[in-house]
Amino acid sequence: MMKITTGQIELVAPRERLDYFDQRSVELPAAVTPIEAWRVIMADPLPLLGLAFRLRDAISARFGVKRIGGFSGEVRGFVQEGDRLDFFLVETATDNVLSLSARDRHLDVLTCITSVERTLTITSSVKVHNLFGRAYMVVVGPAHKLIVSAMLRRLRRGLR
């Protein structure tokens, strides 16, 4: 998988070649590193997210996509490049950038969490490889935007 860096943001491919791009930011009451933000978000998962992942796995498995199981809620103390955070591979782990990838024969995903002072940004980029990947993103794309927005709101509340 290619990884493109523009400023602090890492993308799965050049912006003009992406099939999906979403970027959401939140101003937090205190500065946090991306991994600290991940820990807070994962410690209090969205209520219906587990069901959504089970549904995703049940449908996608019929098309040869491996099950990902969703988020475990595990909060790790130290993360470095090459580690796994649930179904994501850690591509970059610094004080300001946490990039997480997932790839299969249908699509490549890179989620990049960045922090600059009190602003936390989640940037998601996807490159699809086939018709199933396109169909998958028709459903997952809009849902992803809602999920990330809800996670950022909960993060802001959790840090108050």
CA angle, residues 30, 35, 41, in degrees to nearest 5: 75
The helix/strand/coil state of 110 is strand
Q: Can you list the domains of the chain with their CATH numbers? A: 4-158 (3.30.530)
pLDDT in tens, the chain (160 residues): 567 766 679 999 999 999 999 999 999 999 999 999 988 888 877 777 677 767 776 877 787 777 666 666 676 778 999 998 877 899 999 999 999 999 988 999 999 999 999 999 999 999 999 998 999 899 899 999 999 999 999 999 988 8
Which residue is it, tokens 């591509």?
91
- What is the pLDDT at residue 87? 79
